[in-house]
Amino acid sequence: MARTGRPRAFDKDQALERALLLFWSRGYGATSVQDLVDALALERGSLYGAFGDKRQFYLAAVQLYWDTYERQLVTALEAGPVLPALREVLANPARAQEYASDVGVPHGCMIGNTTAELVPQDDEAREIVARSHARFTRIVADALRRAQAAGEVTQAATPEAQAQLLLFTVQGLSLVARAGLDTSAALAAVDALIDALRA
């Protein structure tokens, strides 16, 4: 750990957070390095020095996005009845119109955006996405298993199958939301699913 050298003039974590917002709302391809330079108020070379190239920078932002999301997910599910918490997990993207990006569109889920844009050509992106999917289903399945045991959730299907279904729904909902959503219709669909899980 070198204690010498010119100190970094910006906050690396904060820069990554801002980059996350940009990447989230515009996607990878539509966010140019110049956009980042402008938004983060630092010079090109500093960016490359701190984060490597654009791809690594994006992947770091995705990882940060997931870590944050996972923390919220775990918190939401660890206490109280599971179904209301899951309802919120789904309802959140359904009401996401207010999180409109700078181009006036909901961001959707950044994991889903990455799946669509990067995964076909980028194995590292695919790993991050696949790992996120696996963690989501594991966390949700664990909660559902407890809820099945408690008689809150139907045992008509395994917790794993139910969790997988919830993953599909969250991802699809977030994606469809980007094209514009009738919020009440979306919430009705969410309720239909949650009701179907009820014991």
Residues that bind its own copies (CB under 8 A): 25-27, 29-30, 101, 103, 105, 108, 112-113, 115-117, 119-121, 126, 129-130, 133, 156-158, 160-162, 164-165, 167-173, 175-176, 178-180, 185-186, 188-193, 195-197
Among DNA, its own copies, none, partner that 8 touches (CB below 5 to 8 angstroms by kind): DNA
| C-beta separation of 83 from 153 below 8 A | yes
Angle in degrees, CA 190, 192, 196, rounded to 5:
115
Q: Which stretch binds DNA (CB under 7 A): 51-59, 62-70, 97-105, 155-163?
A: 51-59
14 binds DNA (CB under 7 A): no
Among 13, 14, 16, 42, binds DNA (CB under 7 A): 42
Residue 174 burial (C-beta neighbours within 10 Å; 0-12, 13-18, 19+) = buried
The residues in 21-40 that bind DNA, with binding defined as CB under 7 A, are: 31-35
50 binds DNA (CB under 7 A): yes
Among its own copies, DNA, none, partner that 153 touches (CB below 5 to 8 angstroms by kind): none
List the one residue out of 131, 129, 109 whose CA is nearest residue 119: 129
φ/ψ region of 146 (left if φ > 0, alpha if ψ in -120 to 50, else beta) reads alpha
In the complex, the smallest distance separating the C-beta of residue 39 from DNA, rounded to whole angstroms, is 13
The residues in 54-83 that bind DNA, with binding defined as CB under 7 A, are: 54-55
What residues have CB less than 8 Å from 174, skipping those under 6 apart? 93, 96, 108, 109, 112
What residues have CB less than 8 Å from 65, skipping those under 6 apart? 20, 24, 110, 111
Q: Which residues of this chain interact with DNA, rule CB under 7 A?
A: 2-10, 31-35, 42-46, 48-50, 53-55
